[in-house]
Amino acid sequence: MSGIETDVQVTPSLRAGGTVINDFSIEVATVNGSGSQTANTVLLRTIFQMGVPVSGKNLFPSNISGLPTWFTIRVSKHGYIGRKKDADVLVAMNPETAPEDVDKMRAGTLVVYDEPLNLRSRRSDLIFYPVPFDKLVAPVCSKPKLRPLVRNMIYVGVLAYLLNLDMAQAKVALNKQLGKKAAVLDMNAAALQVGYDFASEHFTKQDRYLVAPMNENQGKIIIDGNAAAALGCMFAGVTVVAWYPITPSSSLCESLIMYMKKYRMDKRTGKATFAIIQAEDELASLGIVLGAGWAGARAMTSTSGPGISLMSEFAGLGYYAEVPGVIFDIQRVGPSTGLPTRTMQGDLLQTAYLSHGDTKHILLFPGSVEECYTMAIEAFDLAEEFQTPVFVMSDLDLGMNNWMSDPFPYPEQPPKRGKVLTEQDLQRIGRFERYRDVDGDGIPYRTIPGSSMPAYFCRGSGHNERALYSERPDDYKRNMDRIARKFETARHRVPAPELVRDGADDVGIIAFGSSHFPTIESVDQLRTEADINASYLRIRAFPFSSEVESFVRRHDRIYVVDQNRDGQMRDLLRLELAPELAPKLRSVRHYDGLPIDARTITDQILAQEGITS
Q: Which residues bind other proteins (CB under 8 A)?
A: 219-223, 231, 234-240, 242, 259, 263-264, 266, 269-275, 277, 279-281, 283-299, 313-314, 317, 321, 407-408, 410-411, 414-415, 447-450, 452, 455-461, 468-469
Its sign, for the CA torsion 23, 29, 32, 34, is negative
The per-residue DSSP string of 389-421 comes to EEEEEEEHHHHHSEEEEPPPPPP-SPP----B-
Please identify, using beta-carbon distances, which residue of 458 and 530 lies nearer to other proteins: 458
What is the distance between the alpha carbons of residues 309 and 182, in angstroms, rounded to a whole number?
Answer: 46
Q: Work out the burial of residue 277: count CB atoms within 10 Å of its CB; fewer than 13 is exposed, 13-18 middle, 19 or more buried.
A: middle
Whole-angstrom distance, CA of residue 569 vs CA of residue 575? 10
Cβ distance to other proteins smaller for residue 239 or 331: 239
Nearer to other proteins among residue 85 and residue 264 (C-beta): 264
Residue 456 or 476: the one with the smaller Cβ distance to other proteins is: 456
- Report in angstroms how near the CB of residue 76 gets to other proteins at its nearest: 19
| Residue 471 Cβ vs other proteins, minimum distance, rounded to whole Å | 11
Shortest distance (Å) from residue 407 CB to other proteins: 4
Collapse the DSSP code of 485 into the 3-class scheme (helix H, G, I; strand E, B; otherwise coil) and give the result.
Answer: helix
Residue number, 318 or 497, with CB nearest to other proteins: 318
User: Least CB distance from residue 330 to other proteins, whole Å?
Assistant: 20
d(CA 402, CA 252): 13
Closest approach of other proteins to the CB of residue 30, in Å: 25
End-to-end CA distance of the chain: 27
Q: Are 87 and 29 in contact (CB under 8 A)?
A: no
Distances, alpha carbon 569 to alpha carbons 430, 513, 556, in Å: 44, 11, 18
Burial class (CB in 10 A: 0-12, 13-18, 19+), 140: buried
Whole-number Å distance between alpha carbons of 173 and 166: 11
**Helix or strand run (H / E) with residue 510:** strand 507-512
E runs forming strands in 20-157: 20-21, 23-31, 54-59, 68-76, 89-92, 110-114, 127-131
> Would you say 447 or 600 has its CB closer to other proteins?
447
- CB of 413 vs other proteins, minimal distance in Å: 10
Task: Return contacts of 409-418, CB within 8 angstroms, 24+ apart.
Answer: 409/374, 410/235, 411/235, 411/236, 411/377, 415/236, 415/237, 415/298, 415/380, 415/381, 415/384, 416/381, 416/384, 416/385, 417/384, 418/324, 418/384, 418/385, 418/386, 418/387, 418/443, 418/446
Beta carbons within 8 Å of 534's beta carbon, 6+ residues apart: 501, 503, 504, 507, 508, 509, 523, 526, 527, 559, 605
We find the least distance from the C-beta atom of residue 328 to other proteins, in angstroms, to be 17
* CB 26 to other proteins: min, Å: 22
Residues 6+ positions from 511 with CB-CB distance below 8 Å: 519, 536, 538, 539, 560, 561
- 498-501/535-539 β-pairing: antiparallel
Of residues 50 and 150, the one with the C-beta less far from other proteins: 50
Q: Which ranges in 510-597 belong to alpha helices (H)?
A: 516-530, 546-554, 568-576
Closest approach, Cβ 262 to other proteins, in A, equals 8
Burial of 581 (C-beta count, 10 Å sphere; 0-12/13-18/19+): middle
By beta-carbon proximity to other proteins, the closer residue of 2 and 269 is 269
Q: Kindly write down the DSSP assignment for every residue of 137-163, as one continuous string.
A: HHHH---GGGHHHHHHHHHHHHHHHHT
Q: Which is nearer to other proteins, 132 or 409 (CB)?
A: 409
277 in Cβ contact with 284 (< 8 Å): no
**CA–CA separation, 603 and 522 (whole Å):** 9
Minimum distance from residue 4 beta carbon to other proteins (Å): 26
Q: How far is the CB of 111 from other proteins (least distance, A)?
A: 32
Q: Which is nearer to other proteins, 202 or 263 (CB)?
A: 263
Q: How far is the CB of 459 from other proteins (least distance, A)?
A: 4
Q: Which C-beta is closer to other proteins: that of 468 or that of 577?
A: 468
Select 265 or 611, whichever has its Cβ closest to other proteins: 265
Q: Which residue number, 234 or 252, has a Cβ lying nearer to other proteins?
A: 234
Indicate the residue among 290 and 352 with the shorter CB distance to other proteins. 290
Closest contact distance (angstroms) between CB of 289 and other proteins is 6
How near is the Cβ of 233 to other proteins at its closest, in Å? 11
CA atoms lying within 13 Å on the CB side of residue 242:
21
- Residue 289 CA, chain-centre distance (Å), reads 23
Q: Which of 546, 573, 542 is nearest to 559 (CA)?
A: 573
How near is the Cβ of 273 to other proteins at its closest, in Å? 5
CB atoms within 10 A of CB 527: 14
Q: Which is nearer to other proteins, 20 or 468 (CB)?
A: 468
Asked, as a colleague might, if the bond just before 335 is cis with ω within 30 of 0, I would say yes
